[in-house]
Structure 1
């Protein structure tokens, strides 16, 4: 079997990723043995073919051997994914119930509103005070007592009560799927405890290298905290240089996002490249002799990996560190290296280490961006020939930004639902400040040149203000772009064919790509027209609050106890309105009577087009509803003392709605009554939202 050696990992990577994805989506623990047997057989066949290649004239059936090799890569990816899925292990802690868990903190705890959130690794379980080995990850939310706050660090061993629950799925349309996100991090259970349910053993475990990195980064963050007075500048400095997730304001985050420069706030390839070029220039005097040049390159690699360690070893930093290390080694030993093969080898290495990286948004965007830079940037750069040296550098930077933005466009829109129109202006503006901030930030920490801190702070503030000004320009971005999975695939395929056809002058592929883009645009136009004609009622599923949106075209009346500034509104309610392209929202509370166009709310009754709702709360306690009125639905709110049998004798309705303001025992009583009379009912708590289409 023969492969082009310069792209061998490119050929391996695609079936390997396909195996990971299939195992993640459809795999079961029982398939591990099957995969092991399949891999053993396939590997034996490939070993036999290579051992007796000439004797059996294997070149006559190299096509079949190639297929076997691809199947082997597919099975290997699947096996690694299954082996890394903790819930498939026999010793997974959640397979049985126990009294206590012994865990150790696997990360940096984050404090928000007296709630300390952190991941832990289970090391053993206790039943009747007898320990037993166990494994698995758990997400903990620890309520902190302000009078006796607890401080936890990476590696701390704890004993906690075993009261975990499966992570809940998303219940509302367009809501962030927290369960899927945590599943991609191998976390399937969570618990909410207070300090009385936790015992700190005052012992430590975990990876000593990671522990050292976290402690060292904390020291560096404290240096920034001491010398940078502006809170926003401190947050940007800590995030940009050290990858420490400080509290950035919404305005600053929005400015970086709307200008297409959010990558600057994630320690990634650009940061590693800046460090490499600085070190390579400073140590260029060592290039005079071969031995010294090799020493220089190994020294640079060591510093880059040390910096990667301090920033938490994120997937984007790992990718950059591995790629630059391979590039440096190839340069040191005068070997030609294919950029695509290096990129594929880096991805393969990271996925062998952790197959779940494939679902990490940063991992996906990072590799696609680098592919765009390798493939597209040189081709875009050749579009225009610029004689002037400095204008040529500007055009090179523009080509770089265009290549990265074009490559990541489908995924960026799919994940973030917006497109920055001034991304070229934003990236040109931040180019020099980013380099200056990296050099100054690292210089302050490494060389202790603290007198440069005011200049560092001023550059950050200047950059933030400049990006905010760009973000506030008219038509700075297209927002509320929602793509389904098949739309993402269609757009990606169309852009891929378009770029390939333009680069290689393929007319047929160009026509095909244009047709696919027209199909994509046609569906987008259809959804836009449908949204302009929509008439819907959406009852949200919340934890303690209530919300119902009465939607006409791009306007909605939102009956709720939430405000626009409330995080529950922004997380649970607003995404669905954005997805349905609602731009005008009128907030109305339970007691407020309102008449707006086709929406009428008066004396605990709602009429929206032809749909009517009776709103029952505590004001109906011990009162009889006279006249046998007829409604489409009855909405129970805040524990009204009305049983279902009396409701059925006093009103005529077809659907019972029970919101989350009712106590759990009341909800259970309402549900039992509805089941007794075989009445259609919806509980708007820990269930899917209830959507009514009126057209």
Structure 2
């Protein structure tokens, strides 16, 4: 570790960042670490000041690391936008209008444009109820209807009427925390705009470099549009080179995910690494020439940063470009380098600029993969040798894929809940094809002004992308291509890494200590998994899920669950986003879906639900002694009433407009509003219920209703 100081520095900085995120109210913590760090640093310096031979200064080193912990805390505090007094999160009054500038390249969605606005000032009433424009800061995600509107441009200044609303937290168990994800980017609000709610005041780009990157990105998009004719291949090239997935077919995306090659569709450190390796190979002839290393470094840096430019300075590419810049400069000047120290240095400077990058899945996966490959790939690759150079090359790529998958799969399962079965088959093919596609794409851009050459390069690029799509699609269609629905708790993930690290250390060192360490961590991991399995096998849950403008009720017994919903069968995206992770977290392996008709005139029960009755106005479900009543309509003509007390009353589709409508009809222990009800009506009923002393629950305001029936 003495030769790798930045590995220690970045660890201390990360400790400070994590301390702020987990304990932001502990203001005494950075003060204490700073005082103790300075005291240890000064004491160690004074104690060894008069000595000719300086011993290892453990005291001073510890003090320096504590100061870096303070630095990590302070940088994170400074980079947190909500700590600014003029930030939108502190605004108590209703915002009537605001002025903002488009601060990032807009994204095109199926029906909307997704735009990031940087607020400059806002209009709201002062203490005298007079509207005034005042300075205001904050970032807002704006969704703009695409109908008859051109895509917004970076740097446009907008005057927006209305007030953005805070981003909702996850409302279902296990649901992706979109609010937290955006908060790490200092975005806390969003707004859906209609065309009349915005007025373009002008164009004033906040950053000239970002403006240049945006313009180059759009130019590259136009080149690929012209040269790569077919939609599937154009979508892959756009995703891999420009980081734009708007033209990517959903079926093709699922094929890449099932084949374990979805990482290739997001511009990342992998792309920079492939480009670096190809450039090193192509320019290696310069090494033996006078000043060849320097010329090689200049060309490598120019091409790498041009790639970063055409991606619009994507954060993952910037991180990787910074890391490889250090490697290139070290090689050019003949400096001895340690991979871990270089990784630590690049991570240190990145986190100083953006401490919240630490919580990005891409940041974690890319650094883990590079660290694992650097530490283990050489030994693993040398364990087998082949005389044929092409077989040896294939084994080298396979070794890289195995090490990268081994070190990243616990984190991948934790974030994405699946594991690609045929990654060994797909990844070597993907890497080889990427080594061809990336240089071809760069050459297509570089020679786009040469008529005949550009056409040839565009044809080669299109055919390469076609072969890549074909290989991935064929792999994804193999039986059992992906294990889906996997779930690791944070504790299980950390124990999995402990087993991997101690097991690899045992193989490399043959030290008996690691035998015990591997056995103990494996037993702890088995215990955690068995306990989770026991709890899931004995669970009994009733859940009214949050599903926008829909009904979704599930009854779970062990690993089996029945879901009653009016969600369209073709709307797999809503199910995947809102409900899939819930059943994955609960360990549900047998899910029966019964479709509840949205037509109030429909009569009859879904065929696969026992003890279920439905008529035009209500539906009754009896499950293990519990009664559930779904009310569709409360009309004055038919004054039906239920003689028994209902356990769970679920109000659907604005059936209840006034609490008096329930008098003489229903007595229920629990009253729940699902999200098929209009929000203003539900808000009114909740307010009235509070005054009347009626206990009720709304999934829109409070999240999914989950009751344990054990």
Q: Structure 1 length normalisation: TM-score?
A: 0.92
- Residue 242 (1) aligns with residue 242 (2): yes
Correspondent of 1:569 among 575, 581, 604: 575
- Residue 537 (1) aligns with residue 527 (2): no
Correspondent of 2:24 among 27, 39, 43: 27
SS in 1 for 2:105: coil
Which runs of no fewer than 5 residues in structure 2 stay unpaired?
125-129, 449-453
**More deviation, 53-62/569-578:** 53-62
Q: CA deviation at 1:419?
A: 0.9
Name the counterpart of 1:559. Answer: 564
Name the counterpart of 2:119. Answer: 122
Distance 1:202 1:57 in 2: 67
Q: What is the 5 A alignment of 1:175-190?
A: 175-190=175-190
Name the counterpart of 1:653. Answer: 668
Aligned length, in residue pairs: 688
**More deviation, 498-507/384-393:** 384-393
Residues 598, 325 of structure 1: CA spacing in aligned structure 2 closer, same or farther, 3 A cutoff?
same
SS in 1 for 2:291: helix
Name the counterpart of 1:255. Answer: 255
Name the counterpart of 2:141. Answer: 139
Q: CA deviation at 1:62?
A: 3.4
Residues 291, 526 of structure 1: CA spacing in aligned structure 2 closer, same or farther, 3 A cutoff?
same
Contact map agreement 2:372 2:407 (CA 8 A) in 1: yes
Q: CA deviation at 1:516?
A: 2.2
Contact map agreement 1:259 1:426 (CA 8 A) in 2: yes
Name the counterpart of 1:623. Answer: 638
Name the counterpart of 1:76. Answer: 71
- Residue 399 (1) aligns with residue 399 (2): yes
For 1:642-673, what per-residue CA distance to the aligned partner results, in whole angstroms no more than 9, with x for missing partners? 64355354333211122222233432453345
Distance 2:647 2:409 in 1: 45
Q: What is the 5 A alignment of 1:624-639?
A: 624-626=639-641, 628-639=643-654
Residues 370, 666 of structure 1: CA spacing in aligned structure 2 closer, same or farther, 3 A cutoff?
same
Distance 2:585 2:502 in 1: 28
Name the counterpart of 1:594. Answer: 606
Distance 2:234 2:325 in 1: 31
Correspondent of 1:112 among 109, 113, 125: 109
Q: What is the 5 A alignment of 1:290-689?
A: 290-448=290-448, 449-528=454-533, 530-566=535-571, 567-580=573-586, 581-590=588-597, 591=602, 592-594=604-606, 596=608, 598-603=610-615, 604-626=619-641, 628-641=643-656, 643-645=658-660, 647=662, 649-672=664-687, 674-676=689-691, 678-689=693-704
Distance 1:643 1:451 in 2: 71
**More deviation, 415-424/272-281:** 272-281
Distance 2:108 2:288 in 1: 52
**More deviation, 511-520/589-598:** 589-598
Which runs of no fewer than 5 residues in structure 1 stay unpaired?
none
**More deviation, 303-312/288-297:** 288-297
Contact map agreement 1:622 1:641 (CA 8 A) in 2: no
Q: CA deviation at 1:116?
A: 1.9
**More deviation, 159-168/553-562:** 553-562
Distance 1:426 1:504 in 2: 32
Contact map agreement 1:93 1:125 (CA 8 A) in 2: no
SS in 2 for 1:392: helix
Residues 617, 408 of structure 1: CA spacing in aligned structure 2 closer, same or farther, 3 A cutoff?
same
Contact map agreement 2:278 2:435 (CA 8 A) in 1: no
Distance 1:269 1:636 in 2: 50
Residues 51, 533 of structure 1: CA spacing in aligned structure 2 closer, same or farther, 3 A cutoff?
closer
Residues 13, 81 of structure 1: CA spacing in aligned structure 2 closer, same or farther, 3 A cutoff?
same
Contact map agreement 2:41 2:61 (CA 8 A) in 1: no
Residues 600, 77 of structure 1: CA spacing in aligned structure 2 closer, same or farther, 3 A cutoff?
same
